Amino acid sequence: MRQYLLPVVAIASSVIIACASQTSQPSKPSQPKYPISDAQEVFDAFTEIDASTSVGINFSKYADKVIAIKTALEKYKATGKAKPEVLPLFEKALDGHIAAVSYWQCDIKHSSITYKAECQDKEFQNLISIYPAIAEQKSVKAVIDEHRANGGSGSITMGFDQQGILTLIWLKARLPILDAREAFLEDAK
């Protein structure tokens, strides 16, 4: 009987030692399912355009930077590892920059004040569909209300400073990127 008891005790103690050694090993911190490093190129492209618009940029360079953002975003989506909740945020910011290109292009494309104003009004309406809160700002709301009171005649954007509109777009485009960064930081907690 003792012959059978000794191997059982040996096996049991081996199992106990193995279990104890496994539990005492520090566990590796779990990696987030969607690491921020996968989206770094997109964040870098947005950071670059933000820095450029802060110090002044010409139309051609701005349009090139918007294309770079779009390319980085498409590449991020193609990885199959894109964080689902940040994609709409990236896209909303990109849509804002595309709207800025379109709005700015009206000034370049049209020499006639009338055609330029019509083009900018159309692009401004597109901008409001992307960022509805713009239409609720007191000064903008007053101009839109006056435009409606006049039966829709005249230009909405004629009284606006073009650089002011572009700056407003650029500021609005930064907000979704901040939210995207926050979403990645939440995963790191």
Residues 103, 109, 115: CA angle, nearest 5 degrees: 80
> CB neighbours of 176 closer than 8 A, spacing ≥ 6?
88, 89, 90, 92, 93, 96
| Across 128-144, average pLDDT | 87
Do residues 165 and 152 touch, judged by C-beta distance below 8 A? no
Domain ranges of the chain: 32-188
| Residue 189 predicted with pLDDT over 70 | no
Higher pLDDT, 3 or 87: 87
Rounded to two decimals, what is the model's pTM? Answer: 0.77
Mean pLDDT check: name the lowest of 95-109, 131-145, 165-179. Answer: 131-145
